[in-house]
Structure 1
Amino acid sequence: MSVNTDSMIHNILDRVSRIGYVKPEDIPNIDLYMDQVTTFMEAQLAHSKRYEDDKILTKTMINNYAKNNLLPSPEKKRYSKEHLLVLIFIYYFKNILSISDIQTLLGPLTDKYFKSMEDMDLTAIYNEVFSMEKGQIESLQKELLERYEIAQGTFENAPEEDRDFLKLFSFICLLSFDVYVKKMLIEQMIDELRAATDTDTKHKKK
């Protein structure tokens, strides 16, 4: 099986370099109705789709997030800028975390900073987190190249017709292991956060 891995890694690095995020200044400062929210998110996050007909967010998804206390309920069926910020966080988290984990992670943010009148509000938190983007993308490109080079050094004695595929398999395994370990660490931190939150809640009830 012939696989053009050089072309593949070039395309991957090119796509990574074009990864962006929704800038706070691009989010409307006026409240939006549901259709306007889904249209905005579709336009802003279209680059993250795997397939052209994939949906970024649907009305059903957003309603379910509100029902599961991931997203504060809209006011008079309209969603504020802060609602959109929370939805963006949910969009990225939902690919790797359970609904319960996202609740644990976002609950303290929405409880304390949603509609905050202080300088430290959801917009400030969003800005701080995503300001790290540029440096992280450069680091990610470097990591991808390092793992690619490691994978290219494997299966040198494999049958020639299978060598490219097996090298690709090695590369995918390296990336998958990295994702697995990071996901495990994230889940452990969320479990500790949940335990601490539960302890605080019990103390308050006493």
Structure 2
Amino acid sequence: MKTNDERMQDILEHLKSIQHIKPETIPNIDLYMDQVTTFMDAHLKDTKRYSDDKVLTKTMINNYAKNNLLPAPNKKKYTREHILLLIFIYYFKNLLSFHDIEQLFKPITDKHFNTPDDLPLEDIYKEIFSREESDLDRIQADIMDKFEKSKTAFTDKNLDPEDLEYLQLFSWISGLSFDVYLKKQVIEKLIDDLYETGPGKKKK
């Protein structure tokens, strides 16, 4: 069984491998659905939890369109802007409901999807992901800080080494989970505020 120190090293290596899809790698031609799923799987494979997981499937794309997260394709073809939205959806769907994502995306798709007179969606994407390196450094530092704090937990309980190692792992995971829980609460509160002030107000 791995030690917690070994787990920490694995986490650091994994974080180094995570990179967003660069806009310049997205084809300049419209793609059919099979080409879209192949592209997404090739570029986001390192983010999958299990090797046989699919980053994106036809069913997922149809569900996104059905739930108003993704504008309809043009003659069964998807543009670069569709790909950019699918990337955002890929990250958001792990945290938010389809309804929340729809509410969050509506001003983006209304004003910046295929609208040459407003700020292009690609510019929004670049601005958001320009912070990736500094954000990853900050997140990595926070993970390491929580790990170091977990190593001091239960040290006064006279536990056998295996039990101590596991309880410290539990402490580490709990600290990370509480952080995610609080941030999810904040995100949902911000989206709830959109329900109150934006189109499609929150139902009572």
Moved more, 164-173 or 59-68: 59-68
For 1:76-132, what per-residue CA distance to the aligned partner results, in whole angstroms no more than 9, with x for missing partners?
A: 000000000000000100001000000011111001100021361100000000000
Aligned to 1:159: 159
Q: 2:107 corresponds to which letter in structure 1?
A: P
The CA distance in 2 between the partners of 1:31 and 1:174, in whole Å, is 44
The CA distance in 1 between the partners of 2:172 and 2:49, in whole Å, is 19
Aligned to 2:45: 46
Residues matched between the structures, number: 199
- Higher RCO, 1 vs 2 (CA within 8 Å, ≥6 residues apart): 1
- What's the C-alpha RMSD, in Å, of the aligned pairs? 1.3
Structure 1 residue 3, shift from structure 2 partner = 4.7
8 Å CA contact 2:112–2:118 kept in 1: the answer is no
For 1:1-31, what per-residue CA distance to the aligned partner results, in whole angstroms no more than 9, with x for missing partners?
A: x650001001101111221000000101100
Partner of 2:186, secondary structure, is: helix
Aligned-pair identity (%): 52
The unaligned stretches of length 5 or more in structure 2 are none
Q: 1:95 corresponds to which letter in structure 2?
A: N
Alignment of 1:1-206 (within 5 A): 3-118=2-117, 120-156=119-155, 157-160=157-160, 161-198=162-199
The CA distance in 2 between the partners of 1:199 and 1:133, in whole Å, is 32
8 Å CA contact 2:84–2:125 kept in 1: the answer is yes
When normalised by structure 2's length, the TM-score is 0.94
The CA distance in 2 between the partners of 1:155 and 1:124, in whole Å, is 49
The CA distance in 2 between the partners of 1:35 and 1:94, in whole Å, is 21
Aligned to 1:203: none
With over 3 angstroms needed to count, the CA separation of the structure-2 counterparts of 1:178 and 1:63, relative to structure 1, is same
The CA distance in 2 between the partners of 1:171 and 1:158, in whole Å, is 19
